[in-house]
Amino acid sequence: MNKSDKQVIFTDGSCIPNPGRGGWAFIALSDTNDKNPTEWHVSGGDIMTTNNRMELSAVIEALEFFTGKKEYIIYTDSQYVINCAKGKWSRKKNIDLWKKYERISDACNIQWFWVKGHSGNKYNEMVDLLAKQEAKITK
């Protein structure tokens, strides 16, 4: 299976302050082999939450958006999400979201890639901005 057979997604979460008003966002690309791929920009928020909940919510929302898809490449700047998803770190908090993640991702093959935040990656910067905007407008 080549990269174009997999759904490519960038995710991020934000909380202002932490804990406080939060936002999550993801951008999905239709075909990374295309010079101008179709992009889906999806975001939302929560009134009282934490940054880690928003980071994980972005992944869950993306997987729900593409229900039925089995192959994913997910880029995130969240070590928390990657390490907990891979079983490297214990899932001591946000158990409700981790249970939801498990249900949604059970039949999926997910390749995780860490992106250093605020390092100039185009899509990471875009999801960061979307998540922060959601956190600011969530009431």
Catalytic, 118? Answer: yes
Q: What is the sign of the dihedral through the CA atoms of 52, 103, 6 and 133?
A: negative
Active-site option among 39, 102, 117, 118: 118
Catalytic, 77? Answer: yes
Catalytic, 5? Answer: no
Helices of type H across the chain: 51-65, 79-85, 95-105, 122-137
Active-site option among 12, 46, 61, 134: 12
Active-site option among 23, 45, 46, 77: 77
Active-site option among 46, 61, 128, 134: 128
Alpha carbons 116 and 111: distance in angstroms, whole number = 17
Active-site option among 13, 22, 23, 45: 13
Annotated active-site positions, please? 12-13, 55, 77, 118, 128
